[in-house]
Amino acid sequence: MTGRRRVPRPERERQIVDVAVHVFAKRGYHGASVDEIAELAGISKPMVYLYLDSKEGLFLACLRREADRLVGAFRSAAAASEASPERRLYAGLLAFFSFVAEHRDSWVVLHRQASELSEAIAAAVAEARRAVMAEVAGLVWAGITESGPHTQLSDEDADFVSHALVGAADSLTDWMARHPGQSPEGVTLRLMNMVWVGMGRVLEGEVWVPASG
């Protein structure tokens, strides 16, 4: 009689996390059951705890894997060519919005649930956000420095623009959910026009101030 194939640990963990992402996205952290996750993964509940230690440990594994996938998609797309900084930023943002559109469960776990949970989970979210911010800031700063030696903007300005851009991208994922007919390409183009074109006008010396009186 042939015995059952022993599943290597990395593959088994991947299977558990695949199921857990879906369950957490569907039911929320508090509503999700380790029993359900184990059943859908085809293993026992004690085995889930053996691999991931606890429900929080399982959620952290989901969070870190999906955050790594998201940051990796942005980084790979932005680094795929030797194009200008704005073209690389466009490619990275397009990869971001495409990831959100194609992996909605992952984004629900990352964006909507994680901020409401424990300190360890909040720290993991903050770490992922810093990684994205660093990638965006590098491209924004490259755009500023390539505008010429006489630009008046600083690395603080690049940091400001990066925070505004990442914040806008976060918010637009909810807008995309309410407008399912909008493509990732269209959303990316509109955001680039709002942010990059505006920054270009500032680099050319145009500054808005409120009218007096």
pLDDT for 36 beyond 90: yes
Looking at every residue in the chain, the average pLDDT score rounds to: 83
The label of the residue with tokens 């949970």 reads: 117
Q: Do residues 48 and 15 lie in contact, with contact meaning Cβ atoms separated by under 8 Å?
A: no
Q: Structurally, what CATH architecture does the domain formed by 63-203 represent?
A: Orthogonal Bundle (1.10)
pLDDT in tens, 137-196: 887 777 777 765 555 667 787 788 888 888 888 889 889 989 989 999 999 999 988 888
pTM of the model: 0.81
Sign of CA dihedral 13, 129, 94, 97: positive
Q: How far is CA 137 from each of CA 131, 144, 155, 170, 207, rounded to the nearest angstrom?
A: 10, 10, 9, 16, 21
Every domain of the chain and the residues it spans: 63-203
